[in-house]
Structure 1
Amino acid sequence: MRLAIAHAIDLQKLVDVALYGYAQVSPSPISTALPKWYDPSIKAREPDPKLAEKLLDDAGYPRGADGKRFKLRLAYNAFLPASYADFIKQSLAAVGIDAEILKLDLSTFLKTVYTDRAWDLVVESLSNTFDPTLGVQRAYWSKNFKIGLVFSNASHYANPEVDQILEAAAIEPDETKRRELWYKFQHIIHDDVVSVDLVAAGAQIVANKKVRDFAPGAQGINNSFAQIWLAPNA
């Protein structure tokens, strides 16, 4: 079923239509924004609704008289644009999956996903930070599945080989060997279709032209505003 869902979603169209081009397709659990560790051989699965329909039929989920196969609960992080969930809902409807969008505020979303686990699909945004051991491992390491622990392994993915790779990569001092470990990890996750990795979306900042030095560092507007100033004649 996960593979069918992956083929039902056109990632480039998601970028172009739902996100107005302000993102790039990022088909691996390690973001394209981390080129040192991202494996460029990982490619997004081709959008193919006909193949998705066949996979669902073969799995024993034919369309009913109303054209629908089954319903799934789709939760999404309230800090993300609703267009993510809307686009995915429409994409799945095209292959007969009825996705019910759960419109939740952030606190309810976190409880629903990470404590109650009352969801079938979730659109989440987990930063890779500056290193995959810090930002990526938490979502796929079986030892990081703990009820109530937010921004973690919500799907309860457990793969002993992946655990071994993650733990080895966390302490490997040789950069070349570490990259090999992360490349192997990405291929396993991609082949298992653990998740449908969507896009890398940078933060968009809108500011009056008079406002200067509002984002002097890599943290953008999360940085201190100590250097901010207004240009009088701008």
Structure 2
Amino acid sequence: MRLKIFGFVFLVFLVVSEAFGSPVQASQIIKVSSGGKEFTFLCGLDSEIKVTSGNEKDDAAAVVIDQKLDDSDSCDGAVWTKGQSTGGETILVMINPGRTGVNAQMNVYALQNGVASFAGYLPVGADDLGGLKYSFDSDQADGVWREVYGISDGKVKRLSEIQFMQSGSVCVDRSGSVSDDAQCVGKRIIASAGRPLCISYVGKIGKISPASECSELAKHFSN
């Protein structure tokens, strides 16, 4: 009787976890519907991620993504998470297969109108901003950085970066863009605790921004 009760409770847990997008153990499967199709995501014991379309997950013809992980990756203890865009057109399914460290990244998969694809990678500690946008803060030798990522056309793309500096210097050329400080032919600006710099980047082009835009990053130094 105890086994029957446990089995029933476990089944309810799986259903509730999927319905509310809660993490699901990677040794299990997570099923997500898109465009009238059901997709099954599995991180197997052989460190391989498979995504299948349809109900027969063992049918080789139904495999739409078969991705071998690195030898250092592990599905043991990893968790799936599911997110969705505001309009509901794109569904993201993500997993961190045992990666650790500041630069650890999770695999991201996108479902759009019944098509599954590998979207790329997001930092494990990224914060969900909503609308398929994520931000990630990191402390580096040249200051504190915030990277903003977005998912468009089924791919992860870095949209912008912002840097908060309390030491070091940057070079600003005649156009107002931040350039290579090692070969500065413009104006060199020195950052200090009393006069920190806030630099916004779009692509490789940086611009000096008002300090107020780095107010949240400045909290890293006050903590």
User: Which category describes the TM-score, using the shorter chain as reference length?
Assistant: under 0.3
Name the structure with the higher helix share.
Answer: 1
Name the structure with the higher strand share.
Answer: 2
TM-score by length of 1: 0.20
Larger radius of gyration: 2
TM-score by length of 2: 0.21
